[in-house]
Amino acid sequence: MKDAILSFQDYYGGDAALIFWLPSGQRRLHVQTASDAVTWRCSAPFSAQQLDFGRLLWGEAREYPQEIVLADSGPSAGLFHLRIT
């Protein structure tokens, strides 16, 4: 998946966004504020397991990804990273 993301990023040169819509993301995304690590809790029957987004999708970028907010002062609808390395 990372190769596809890097290819998209290189092709558009940062002029387009690649968005992953994550249903029920607010309940399943967890941000560790001390390390800026973002994890995704898997669905049943694997709900005890988590995926490390920072390692898998963002190339271990440690700065906090920016939040996607659909309305002023509304809840976060997702996350994006400006540049994956």
pLDDT, residue 24, reads 65
pLDDT, residue 22, reads 67
pLDDT in tens, 60-83: 655 667 777 788 877 777 777 766
Q: Is 29 exposed, middle or buried (0-12, 13-18, 19+ CB in 10 A)?
A: middle
42-68: average pLDDT: 77
Name the residue with higher pLDDT: 71 or 25: 71
C-alpha 26/C-alpha 79 separation (Å) is 11
What proportion of the chain, given as a percentage, has pLDDT over 70? 78
pLDDT, residue 59, reads 67
pLDDT, residue 4, reads 80
